[in-house]
Amino acid sequence: MTALEVRNLHKRYGQHVAVEDVSFTVEAGEIFGIIGSNGAGKTTTVESIAGLRTPDSGSISVLGLDPVKDRAEVRERLGVQLQESSLPDAIKVAEALELYSSFYRDPVDWRELMELLGLTEKRNTRYKALSGGQKQRLSIALALVGNPKVAILDELTTGLDPQARRDTWGLIEQVRDSGVTILLVTHFMDEAERLSDRIAVIDGGRVAAVDTPAGLIAQASAMQRVRFRVSQPLDSSVLTELSDVADVEVTGDRWLVTGRGQLLSIVAGALARAQVVAQDLRVDRRNLDDAFVAFTGRAPESPERSERKAD
Ligand SMILES: Nc1ncnc2c1ncn2[C@@H]1O[C@H](COP(=O)(O)OP(=O)(O)OP(=O)(O)O)[C@@H](O)[C@H]1O
């Protein structure tokens, strides 16, 4: 079943085109990642889905509803955690959750949610006194308190330390397993790769690619690299004459073979036939960072650069 459908979305601010042409479909129960550099158009896209911005053209369907025409119904079914929450400094954790739950027809038990997100101990703490990680967890709780079928999480772990990021990922998987479809906006490749069932790469207001993390990596890196060391002489023609091998580099006793297909077993077979024992034989693992560079021509941002202490 389709949970979200975006077709030919276009949005400009004055003369500046923020979203040129974005289309994708999210199936119910998926974690669907949206990755892209700063200014790629991610937030404009998800805020249009949430009905917070009105597209200039294109269509959006959220569980069969139009976010602009059916705003009230969409609000009931869609939970949104945006980049910056705008809670008053003086509001306490429990007050915020109780207040937000009163906005919905069929909210979850906010006390259970507070417990699930590890905030019960902080129930009487004012918003301004929470740490970065606690504020983040509260904003996730507020996005989920209305018992949504679909949740939008924008820059989920920006500013969290590595442990808090991993804890948050575990939590999001739990939320997905409870049946909520999740649209996850991030510019962190490790987060997108770890959590997403499928990912859209957005670049310059357009969708550059949509696939599973493994599919994106495979699309972007047809070439593989195999490394090994040898302690005895080896004639490079043993490898260069293989049809799947594109290049062989030798530095001292270190060999680097670039090629296609099942390169590791092809190289291992050739070495065995030449009766050469290779040490440290390994294939370079390609990751989503490599795929991102291939699709956008830009390096992804690293989490460390935007990290601040969380708890
Ligand atoms: N309200 C606005 N008025 C004018 N320009 C805007 C507005 N909102 C966004 N933009 C511009 O539109 C482009 C897309 O912005 P958007 O926030 O959608 O990108 P993003 O991919 O979410 O970026 P980031 O990762 O930095 O949040 C950017 O160039 C941005 O400066």
pLDDT, tens only, 209-255 = 999 999 998 887 777 889 999 988 899 999 999 988 888 999 988 99
What own/partner pairs with CB < 8 Å and gap ≥ 24 does 172-176 have? 172/31, 172/140, 173/31, 174/116, 175/144, 175/151, 176/29, 176/30, 176/31
Determine whether the shortest distance from the Cβ of 35 to ligand 1 is under 6 A. Answer: no
CA of 16 to the centre of ligand 1 (A): 10
Domains of the chain, residue spans = 2-218, 222-284
CA–CA gap between residue 156 and residue 240 (Å, rounded): 47
Task: Output the residue whose Cα is nearest ligand 1's atom 8.
Answer: 44
Mutate to test the pocket of ligand 1, among 9, 21, 43 (most ligand atoms within 8 A of CB): 43
Q: Write down the pLDDT at residue 79.
A: 93
Residue 85 pLDDT class (50, 70, 90 cuts) = low
Task: Output the residue whose Cα is nearest ligand 1's atom 7.
Answer: 13
Domain 222-284 adopts which CATH fold? Alpha-Beta Plaits (3.30.70)
Q: Write down the pLDDT at residue 310.
A: 38
Residue 304 pLDDT class (50, 70, 90 cuts) = low
Arithmetic mean of pLDDT, 68-77? 92
Distances (CA, A) of 195 to 58, 169, 175: 28, 7, 12
pLDDT for 111-124, tens place per residue?
998 998 889 999 99
Residue 58 pLDDT class (50, 70, 90 cuts) = very high
Is residue 24 a contact partner of residue 196, using CB atoms and an 8 Å limit?
Answer: no
Residue 164 pLDDT class (50, 70, 90 cuts) = confident
Q: Which residue bears the tokens 């459908």?
A: 5
Residue 7 pLDDT class (50, 70, 90 cuts) = very high
Determine whether the shortest distance from the Cβ of 43 to ligand 1 is under 6 A. Answer: yes
* Percent of the residues in the chain that have a pLDDT greater than 70, as a whole number: 95
CA–CA gap between residue 269 and residue 23 (Å, rounded): 45
CA–CA gap between residue 89 and residue 128 (Å, rounded): 5
Higher pLDDT among residues 115 and 160, named by residue = 115
Higher pLDDT among residues 159 and 8, named by residue = 8
Q: How is residue 48 written in tokens?
A: 């249009």
Determine whether the shortest distance from the Cβ of 16 to ligand 1 is under 6 A. Answer: yes
Determine whether the shortest distance from the Cβ of 41 to ligand 1 is under 6 A. Answer: yes
Q: Write down the pLDDT at residue 303.
A: 59
Q: Write down the pLDDT at residue 2.
A: 93
CATH pick for 2-218 out of 3.30.750.24, 3.30.70.80, 3.40.50.300, 3.30.420.40: 3.40.50.300
- pLDDT at residue 99 greater than cutoff 70: yes
Determine whether the shortest distance from the Cβ of 11 to ligand 1 is under 6 A. Answer: no
Please provide the average confidence, as pLDDT, over all residues in the chain. 89
CA of 59 to the centre of ligand 1 (A): 20
Q: Write down the pLDDT at residue 84.
A: 62
Residue 311 pLDDT class (50, 70, 90 cuts) = very low
